[in-house]
């Protein structure tokens, strides 16, 4: 069941890339990030009241603040900022390193061990993402690359922190705390956000609300459920499936044809994820 939940989560997260491109045709990245996190926080506040999310224990405020700021505020901000100066393919390749950072952090702080077969699957999937998404003849290493890499590190840290918290809280509790905390820094941008949002039409608002409620609210909630049942490194490895799924969704929804290398890199990613699952069962 945990694998089915995480697979559905991958589809949800993959759908966000085409949706983000659609919204960015109408507004800037900072405004989109702020409104997206506000929508996610509003949804989780509603769910917190409906499902009676408790006040967290005082000793957990630090880890919860770290999860919200790293996994929501800093991750989205660095990714959007870095994506302004690097290609989408290069950004997706750097983001695909999340399983590596998660595995290393989980080994250091959670005591999780990866078998040689699991490491082989992880690197095979990463190579598949590179083959599919990056033009290595035009590969650049600049500020944008390091910003995106920072976002990948933040995502890995968030997964490890959340894994530890799930021993004491429900998945919905952690998602609610993190979403609300993650939206707070963007209140400082609210005056500019309000002005820039005037450029959004009805479809822009609809897609923006989708981005906040489904990929962030529902997506992070479901991933926390899977994380409670699976090793942190295994959950993060399934994120390698996001790039090929995102390419297919963008092809269908916004008519962005994928690179022909998808048909080479995609099977490599699937094989890598399969190897990791076989070593974990």
Per-residue pLDDT tens over the stretch 200-218? 999 999 999 999 999 999 9
Q: For 155-191, what is each residue's pLDDT tens digit?
A: 999 999 999 999 899 999 999 999 999 999 999 988 8
249: pLDDT strictly greater than 70: yes
Q: Of 12, 68, 48, give the one whose Cα is nearest residue 226.
A: 12
Name the DSSP letter for residue 57.
Answer: P
**What confidence score (pLDDT) does residue 281 get?**
45
Cα distance between residue 152 and residue 113, in whole Å: 21
Determine contact, residues 211/36, Cβ cutoff 8 Å.
yes
Name the DSSP letter for residue 255.
Answer: -
Cα distance between residue 200 and residue 207, in whole Å: 10
Q: For 29-85, what is each residue's pLDDT tens digit?
A: 888 889 999 999 999 999 999 999 999 999 999 999 999 999 999 998 888 777 767
Q: What tokens were used for 133?
A: 């998404």
Extract long-range pairs of 260-263: CB within 8 Å, 24+ residues apart: 261/131, 261/132, 261/133, 262/132
Q: Read off the pTM.
A: 0.82
Q: What tokens were used for 194?
A: 């309000």
Determine contact, residues 86/145, Cβ cutoff 8 Å.
yes
Query: pLDDT-based confidence at 277, cuts 50/70/90?
Result: low
Place of tokens 């595995």: 103
Q: What is the DSSP string of 191-244?
A: HHHHHHGGG--HHHHHHHHHHIIIIIIIHHHHHHHHHHHS-HHHHHHGGGGHHH
Higher model confidence: residue 123 or residue 60?
60
**What confidence score (pLDDT) does residue 106 get?**
86
Q: Please, is 127 exposed, middle or buried when counting C-beta atoms within 10 Å of its C-beta (0-12, 13-18, 19+)? A: middle
**What confidence score (pLDDT) does residue 114 get?**
72
Place of tokens 């590596």: 100
Cα distance between residue 176 and residue 182, in whole Å: 10
Q: Of 232, 213, 275, 270, give the one whose Cα is nearest residue 42.
A: 213
280: pLDDT strictly greater than 60: no
In the chain, where the domains are located: 2-280
246: pLDDT strictly greater than 90: no
Average pLDDT, the chain: 83
Q: What is the three-state SS of 92-123?
A: HHHHCCHHHHHHHHHHHHCCCCCCHHHHHHHH
Higher model confidence: residue 258 or residue 220?
220
Cα distance between residue 213 and residue 234, in whole Å: 25
């Amino acid at each position: 069941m945990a694998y089915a939940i995480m697979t559905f989560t991958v589809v949800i997260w993959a759908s966000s890339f085409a949706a983000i491109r659609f919204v960015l045709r109408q507004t800037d990245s900072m405004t989109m990030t702020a409104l997206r996190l506000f929508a996610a926080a509003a949804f989780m506040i509603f769910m917190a009241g409906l499902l009676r999310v408790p006040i967290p224990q005082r000793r957990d405020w630090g880890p919860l603040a770290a999860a919200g700021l790293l996994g929501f505020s800093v991750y989205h901000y660095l990714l959007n900022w870095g994506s302004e100066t690097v290609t989408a393919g290069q950004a997706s390749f750097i983001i695909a390193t999340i399983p590596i950072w998660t595995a290393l952090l989980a080994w250091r702080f959670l005591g999780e061990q990866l078998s040689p077969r699991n490491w082989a699957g992880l690197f095979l999937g990463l190579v598949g993402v590179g083959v599919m998404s990056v033009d290595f003849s035009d590969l650049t290493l600049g500020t944008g690359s390091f910003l995106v890499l920072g976002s990948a590190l933040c995502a890995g840290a968030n997964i490890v922190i959340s894994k530890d918290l799930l021993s004491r809280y429900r998945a919905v509790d952690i998602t609610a705390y993190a979403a609300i905390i993650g939206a707070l820094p963007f209140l400082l941008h609210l005056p500019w956000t309000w002005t820039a949002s005037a450029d959004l039409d009805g479809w822009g608002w609809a897609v923006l609300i989708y981005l906040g409620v489904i990929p962030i609210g529902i997506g992070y909630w479901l991933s926390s459920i899977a994380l409670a049942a699976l090793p942190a490194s295994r959950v993060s490895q399934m994120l390698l499936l996001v790039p090929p799924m995102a390419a297919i969704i963008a092809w269908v929804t916004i008519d962005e044809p994928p690179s022909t290398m998808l048909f080479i890199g995609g099977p490599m990613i699937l094989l890598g994820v399969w190897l990791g699952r076989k070593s974990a069962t």
